[in-house]
Amino acid sequence: MADNVKPRVKVPRSAAAGETIVIKTLISHPMESGQRKDSDGNTIPRSIINRFTCEFNGTMVMDAKLEPAVSTNPFIEFEAVVPEAGEFTFTWYDDDGSVYTDTQSIAIG
Amino acid sequence: MAKLTVTTAIAACALMGGAVAASADENATLIVNGEIEMVTRTAAPDHVPLGEIRSGWTFRTGETQALQMDDFDNPGMIFVDQAIDAWNTVEGSAEKSCASCHEDVETSMEGVRAVYPKWNEDAGELRTLAMQINDCRESQMGAEPYGYTSADMTAMEALISVQSRGMPVNVAIDGPAAPYWEMGKEIYYTRYGQLELSCANCHEDNYDNMIRADHLSQGQINGFPTYRLKNAKLNQVQDRFKGCVRDTRGETFSPGGPEFIALELYVASRGNGLSVEGPSVRN
């Protein structure tokens, strides 16, 4: 179980209809690769965020599969076209079954 | 030297068709979040034998510089967020949190980082910010002190530092702090280790030169605690001192010990006039 997991997202408050915006996301997470050993020589079990999705008003914007080589506190930045006012939903899936979500609404104007 | 470097940088930009963001720009202006303007180059204080003092930010590449210009991009801010939770967490036998006495961190800690290390009259000692935090934890909260360079301590220092960002470093070196400052200066100019290097050999005599692949800075500490890309965490200033002395292949002093406390005051005073940047981003 990963501690101190906290998602953050940065989405502009408003955009023109059809505008391409930049979205930045970050989740604090140790991203333990499963390759490392502790001081007693035992393998530290893998514990990573294995999937990240972004939806806009129920439509999938991006769906990413994350692997053990991704660094701690994964930062994902991408662009999205905003056709109308609505809400972005961001979801992170943890190896331990936890699901973290965050939402941000965006206005047209 | 500086002039030559600038010329080279301009030539490099021209070759790359104006890919300015990718190359180091030592004359760039550091503005965080588009609102906090930092002083990264200024005239040296009288006690520093340099023409100009420069923040370590000016020595880094464009990409590293950019990371510090927006709090969302700055990975050090993750630890600041964690420290906000710690600030409001009740701990110890007195059942107090930091907030019980100091309330809102944004107002109560404004300007604090800029003047530490600072002489404490009641205790009769020079205190670093870390020592003050631990004194609060022990005397006021009845809680276990943080390890001097622990993640909890460094994050709390970062939270306090954020409240002073953009303010000039202004540590007092006269009065009761003077003997500590003299001791720190002595250490700064003493050669240590098998390589027989003093702080000054790299950071005063050879700043802006390359030491193998590394671009030597002036060793200013206005940006601490510092998020380093090499270890993906916040680094406490005395832990950095320890790393530097270790690199001379010497036995290091202990973080929290009298030598590094004196050295922290001296090195901080060399940056009097630069802005508090912590948590900064470095390589």
Write the pLDDT tens digit of every residue in B209-243: 999 989 999 999 999 999 999 988 999 999 999 99
How many residue contacts between A and B have a Cβ separation below 8 Å?
19
Closest-CA distance, A28 to chain B, in angstroms, reads 7
pTM listed for this prediction: 0.85
Whether residue A72 lies within 8 A of chain B, CB to CB, comes out as yes
Determine the Cα–Cα distance for residues B48 and B258; give it in Å rounded to an integer.
22
| Residue type at position A76 | I
Chain A positions touching B82 (Cβ under 8 A) are 4, 28
Whether residue A36 lies within 8 A of chain B, CB to CB, comes out as no
Q: Is the pLDDT of residue B6 over 60?
A: no
Q: How confident is the model at residue B5 (pLDDT cuts 50, 70, 90)?
A: very low
Whether residue B232 lies within 8 A of chain A, CB to CB, comes out as yes
Whether residue B231 lies within 8 A of chain A, CB to CB, comes out as no
Query: Between A10, A28, A71, which is nearest B78 by CB?
Result: A28
Residue tagged 């943890």 (tokens) = A94
**B101 classed as catalytic:** no
Q: Is the pLDDT of residue B279 over 90?
A: yes
Are B232 and A24 a contacting pair at CB < 8 A?
A: no
Chain B positions touching A28 (Cβ under 8 A) are 78, 81-82
Residue A73: closest CA among A1, A2, A22, A21: A2
Average pLDDT over residues B68-95: 93
Whether residue B82 lies within 8 A of chain A, CB to CB, comes out as yes
Query: Taking the CB of residue B159, how many other CB atoms lie within 10 A of it?
Result: 27
Q: Is the pLDDT of residue B254 over 50?
A: yes
Closest-CA distance, B158 to chain A, in angstroms, reads 17
CA-based radius of gyration for chain A: 16
Are A8 and B232 a contacting pair at CB < 8 A?
A: no
Residue B98: closest CA among B112, B111, B87: B87
Do residues B280 and B62 touch, judged by C-beta distance below 8 A? no
Give the best residue of A5, A8, A9, A22 to mutate against chain B (max B CB count within 10 A).
A8
Beta strands (DSSP E) in A1-98 are 6-10, 14-15, 19-28, 49-56, 59-65, 75-82, 86-94
Q: Which helix (H) or strand (E) holds B227?
A: strand B226-228
Q: Identify the pLDDT of residue B34.
A: 86
Q: How confident is the model at residue B83 (pLDDT cuts 50, 70, 90)?
A: very high
Torsion angle of C-alpha atoms B25, B30, B34, B35, degrees rounded to 10 = -160
Are A10 and B72 a contacting pair at CB < 8 A?
A: yes
Catalytic residue, candidates B98, B199, B202, B244? B244
Chain A positions touching B75 (Cβ under 8 A) are 73, 75
Q: What is the pLDDT of residues B41-56, one digit of tens each?
A: 999 999 999 999 999 9
Residue B134: closest CA among B142, B126, B122: B142
Are A4 and B82 a contacting pair at CB < 8 A?
A: yes
Residue B112: closest CA among B164, B65, B182: B164
Q: Which helix (H) or strand (E) holds B31?
A: strand B31-32
Q: Is the pLDDT of residue B21 over 70?
A: no
Whether residue B72 lies within 8 A of chain A, CB to CB, comes out as yes
pLDDT of chain A along its 109 residues, tens only? 567 788 999 999 999 989 999 999 999 999 999 999 999 999 999 999 999 999 999 999 999 999 999 988 899 999 999 999 999 999 999 999 999 999 999 999 8
Query: Between A4, A10, A72, which is nearest B232 by CB?
Result: A72
